[in-house]
Chains A and B, each alone.
Chain A
Amino acid sequence: MSGAFHPARGPGDRLTGLFWRRPGVLLALLIAPPLIWLGVVYLGSLVALLWQSFWSIDEFSGLIVPEFTLKTYAELLRPANFDVIVRTVTMASVVTAASVVLAFPIAYYAARYARGRMKAVFYLGVMLPLWSSYLVKVYAWKLILAREGIVTWAAEGIGAGNVLNAVLSLPVIGGNSLSTSYIGTFIVFVYVWLPFMILPMQASLERVPNAMLEASSDLGATSWQTFVHVILPLALPGIIAGTIFTFSLTLGDYIIPQIVGSSRLFIGQAVYMLQGTAGNLPLAAAFAVIPIVVMLAYLVFARRIGAFDAL
């Protein structure tokens, strides 16, 4: 024996040797389980869903007719159904826009100013609401926003009761109380999804080097110009990531509008009712396809305006 190498001591060495000679084997072993999970369980059920949306339901017998038809999609365009889509997409857009505006200063502060202890406080503050049950939070909001709740009480206490009443008497978005109006649904949506906007935003802002802001200022830009031409474009991928969360989560949610709101249907609720009590699986599937299509359209649009150029 020349001693140039040690003989393999057992199966562990032989396996390591195999992985070293063929790195592809190790990679395949590592990604096969998640790939199977995603491919079969997730994509499979998605395809099954899509498939069923092209079936229809026999109006007399209430039985599913497993034959290809676009009839179900045509049904989505009926005013009652189409309203649900418009209502949901509008709510998702408004919630997303409000989240961007509310999250940006917080994310900016956390990314560029908070250090040490303040940074820990920031993460705790943003994550803490995510640790408690979603249902508990939504019910808590129902109490907060109720006519007998703390918001009404506080508004009356500071003599702003008539302001609250004026807001509630607005057409469409108003209602009997905050907890039974679109305003209430909106507030709860923004509250529940805000962390999903702040975190990616903060991550992207943190990656903008300070020297780049200095370079902008050095070349004569005002703070506003630096914000528009440097900070915003560089943070855009993070902002888009956040909007994907808030937008898609709002599109699919069926609990918040059921507990807080005007009891008019959102897409999630429509899907829930149609596949459950109504037994109209094809229409439920067609409804469920809407958020997917809307999100794809949104991503194409974001890409088109150059949102991912800085990636």
Chain B
Amino acid sequence: MSGDQMTAAVEFLNVSRHYGAGPVAVKAVDGVDLTIPEGEFFAMLGPSGSGKTTCLRLISGFETPTAGAIRIFGEDVSRVPPNLRNVNTVFQDYALFPHMSVRDNVAYGLMVKGVDRRSRLAKADEMLSLVHLPDYGSRKPGQLSGGQRQRVALARALVNEPKVLLLDEPLGALDLKLREAMQDELKNLQRRLGITFVFVTHDQGEALSMADRVAVFSRGRIVQVGTPEEIYDRPATRFVADFVGSSNVLPPDLSARLGGPATWASLRPEAIRLTDTAPRARGRVTGLRYLGLGTRLAVDVGGTELVALVPAGTALPAEGAEVGLTWAADAAHQMAGEA
């Protein structure tokens, strides 16, 4: 972000993408308004079928809006075909061309623009160095591991120097260790290049740890946009709290019983402490799970399960023991009840 004079890299102006018409219409995207500033690492988070991938495809041009307009750097691109948009995509399963060498794959975007062979291969090698695969140019995609293919797809998408880079579930096909390494690498790459990254994921951990801002999608609409902290600490609705996960979701009656207003509320497990003096709630321990950094305690409070994260070093109650729980007055966050 360039100070207070933010340039919008991508803007959705009341964008809808419906399939079919009338009462049977499938509203894949329904009235989305969104502004992604230049240079931001933006995540679209949501369960499958929530419209996040359709939004990504609306930016790349593989879908056209049935209503509203999409602007990229201020220009309306709603009727511009994908090959004329200065936006590139890292596809979910990479979609590398199996009959071309890695170098030719990366150089493809330059080849179709008519860049001469020598310059485009030089540039391709440069991009391969950028993604730490300098010596793999002459291999075929079939000879690479999943992580390497991912890097090639990244290099191929970056070779055209796009204004916006789109990533569709970029880490979905990788195993856990590789996924964590790639998260750091993507983040570093984005900072270094300063390009706007928009990525789609259904993994809330990935979205929260990588993105500058996150949009949470549900049923074709954006439920909440905010920084990872905002999304995590102050979920706007019950859906967000549920989906982002690990938070305790308190129904209105329980909120009221625990001394708050009678609304839906979220309460983070790490905000709950064990106490013997003046507890806000009492309950029976129904399960203990050791997590390394602490222990996850499930406590049955009058029929609702509350989860508390007890830091390592605290004396632990036994399963079945009666415990008292407390938390800071502002720890319980009120939210809308939409699921």
A residues neighboring B (CB under 8 Å) = 209, 211-212, 214-222, 225, 229-230, 233-234, 306, 309-310
Contact = CB atoms under 8 A, between A and B. Distances in A.
B88 A217 contact: no
26 contacts: A209-B93, A209-B95, A211-B95, A212-B97, A214-B62, A214-B82, A214-B89, A214-B91, A214-B95, A216-B112, A217-B81, A217-B82, A217-B83, A218-B87, A218-B88, A218-B89, A219-B83, A219-B112, A220-B83, A220-B109, A220-B112, A220-B113, A229-B97, A229-B112, A234-B98, A306-B99
Contact of B82 (A209, A218, A225): A218
B98 A215 contact: no
B160 interface: yes
**Interface pairs A-B: 9 shortest CB-CB:** A219-B109, A211-B95, A215-B95, A221-B112, A310-B99, A217-B82, A233-B99, A218-B89, A217-B83
Nearest to B111: A229
Contacts of B87: 218
Most chain A CB inside 10 Å of its own CB: which residue of B89, B97, B99: B99
Nearest to B156: A219
A211 B92 contact: yes
B97 A230 contact: yes
Nearest to B104: A229
B56 to A, nearest CB: 11
B150 interface: no
B75 to A, nearest CB: 17
Contact of A218 (B60, B93, B111): B60
Nearest to B92: A211
Contacts of A233: 99
Contacts of B109: 219-220
B108 interface: yes
Interface residues of B, number: 26
A218 B83 contact: yes
Contacts, number: 68
Given A221-B108, A234-B97, A306-B99, 14 more contacts: A209-B93, A212-B95, A215-B89, A215-B95, A215-B96, A216-B112, A218-B62, A219-B160, A220-B83, A220-B84, A220-B109, A220-B160, A229-B97, A233-B99
A234 B141 CA distance: 14
Contacts of B157: 218-219
Contact of A219 (B88, B98, B99): B88
A221 B108 CA distance: 9
Contacts of B112: 216, 219-222, 225, 229
Most chain B CB inside 10 Å of its own CB: which residue of A220, A225, A309: A220
Contacts of A219: 83, 88, 108-109, 112, 156-157, 160
A125 to B, nearest CB: 29
B95 A222 contact: no
Nearest to A214: B62
Contacts of B89: 214-215, 218
Contacts of A209: 93, 95
Contacts of A216: 97, 108, 112
A118 B96 CA distance: 30
Interface in B91-137: 91-93, 95-99, 108-109, 111-113
A310 B91 contact: no
Contacts of A310: 98-99
Most chain A CB inside 10 Å of its own CB: which residue of B96, B108, B156: B108
Contacts of B156: 215, 219
A215 B91 contact: yes
Contact of A234 (B96, B99, B111, B113): B99
Contacts of B62: 214, 217-218
Most chain A CB inside 10 Å of its own CB: which residue of B87, B96, B97, B160: B97
A214 B56 CA distance: 13
Most chain A CB inside 10 Å of its own CB: which residue of B91, B95, B156: B95
Contacts of B93: 209, 211
Interface string B209-226: 000000000000000000
B88 to A, nearest CB: 6
Contacts of A220: 83-84, 109, 112-113, 160
